[in-house]
């Protein structure tokens, strides 16, 4: 009886503190992303550049994933029960938003590759229209496996059964075919994106070493693509959470397993997704000053 009450306290007492620790950074970074998006929209000349269009798309997709992550976490904390169809929609939409970040990073790396290796044709190749087409293709490619799994779900299973505990992928997509498809597409996405980013990194690095004119710009682009490679590693870390959390690796006390899952959740999903747009945005000299102006509500410019 004593052990049972202790277990209950271990499970229930940390929940408010954990919810606060989780929600505060999420809300802060959502605000930061919102300020960045507002800064982009307030300066139309920035949206004439494919680089800033892609950056705005990165902010949008990362914010979408953060919102879905918050909702899924709150569903789990409150043990909210729902029908399987609603849970599948949230789960697959979250999966699409996860794949958008690496795809967006690949396109951004290609844009920097064209800017440095083909500077005379950069304006011709990276037009606003082509950038919008690239974003549309990203959504088609990123949602292909989720649409496939949604079609299989409607074809093979009852779409209105209640979820027994709370909404997550393992409770609603139980057939092995879903897991196989998901792993296959994730491997395909990340291998393709890794090849693109590594290729552009090497190409720009060679240009940096051989460029005699505009070497500073080439060196900066080289560092930018390196940052994209680091961001890709952060995205890979995020995908590790679903693997570690889905397998039955927790041969420990259930309360301790919840603590481990919470730490992995915050470290592998929340912070990598929050930090990558912030780091990239503040590195840009032009955008940094605009962002600081709106982030401080114009106080910085007034003081200066």
pLDDT tens, position by position, 264-298: 777 776 777 777 777 777 777 778 888 888 887 76
Query: What span, in angstroms and rounded, lies between the C-alpha atoms of 277 and 95?
Result: 19
Mean pLDDT by 10 residues, the chain (304 residues): 42 60 80 88 85 90 86 77 80 85 87 86 89 94 87 75 70 78 82 86 80 62 74 70 55 61 71 72 79 74 45
pLDDT value of residue 132: 93
**DSSP secondary structure letters along 85-148:** HHHHHHHHHHHHHHHHHHHHHHHHHHHHHHHHHSGGGHHHHS-HHHHHHHHHHHHHHHHHHHHH
- In the chain, what are the domains? 18-298 (1.20.1070.10)
Question: Average pLDDT over the chain, rounded to whole?
Answer: 76
pLDDT value of residue 140: 92
pLDDT value of residue 25: 78
Q: Report yes or no: 87 and 125 within 8 Å, Cβ to Cβ.
A: no
């Amino acid at each position: 009886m004593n052990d049972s009450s202790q277990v209950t306290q271990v499970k229930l007492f940390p929940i408010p503190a954990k919810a606060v620790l989780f929600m505060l950074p999420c809300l802060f970074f959502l605000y930061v992303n919102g300020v960045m998006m507002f800064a982009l929209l307030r300066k139309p000349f920035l949206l004439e550049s494919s680089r800033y269009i892609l950056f705005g798309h990165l902010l949008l997709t990362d914010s979408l994933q953060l919102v879905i992550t918050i909702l899924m976490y709150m569903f789990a904390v409150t043990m909210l029960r729902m029908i399987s169809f609603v849970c599948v929609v949230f789960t697959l939409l979250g999966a699409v938003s996860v794949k958008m970040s690496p795809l967006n990073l690949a396109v951004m790396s290609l844009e920097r590759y064209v800017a440095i290796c083909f500077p005379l044709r950069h304006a011709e190749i990276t037009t606003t229209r082509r950038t919008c087409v690239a974003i549309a293709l990203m959504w088609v490619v990123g949602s292909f496996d989720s649409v496939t799994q949604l079609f299989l779900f409607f074809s093979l299973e009852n779409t209105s059964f209640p979820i027994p505990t709370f909404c997550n992928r393992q409770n609603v997509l139980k057939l092995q075919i879903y897991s196989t498809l998901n792993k296959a597409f994730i491997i395909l996405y990340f291998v393709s994106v890794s090849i693109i980013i590594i290729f552009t990194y090497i190409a720009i690095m060679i240009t940096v070493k051989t460029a005699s004119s505009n070497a500073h710009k080439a060196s900066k682009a080289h560092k930018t693509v390196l940052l994209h490679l680091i961001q890709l590693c952060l995205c890979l870390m995020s995908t590790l959470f679903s693997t570690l959390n889905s397998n039955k690796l927790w041969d420990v006390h259930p309360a301790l397993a919840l603590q481990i899952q919470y730490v992995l959740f915050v470290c592998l999903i929340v912070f990598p997704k929050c930090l990558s747009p912030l780091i990239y945005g503040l590195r840009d000299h032009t955008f940094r000053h605009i962002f600081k102006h709106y982030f401080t509500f114009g106080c910085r410019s007034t003081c200066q």
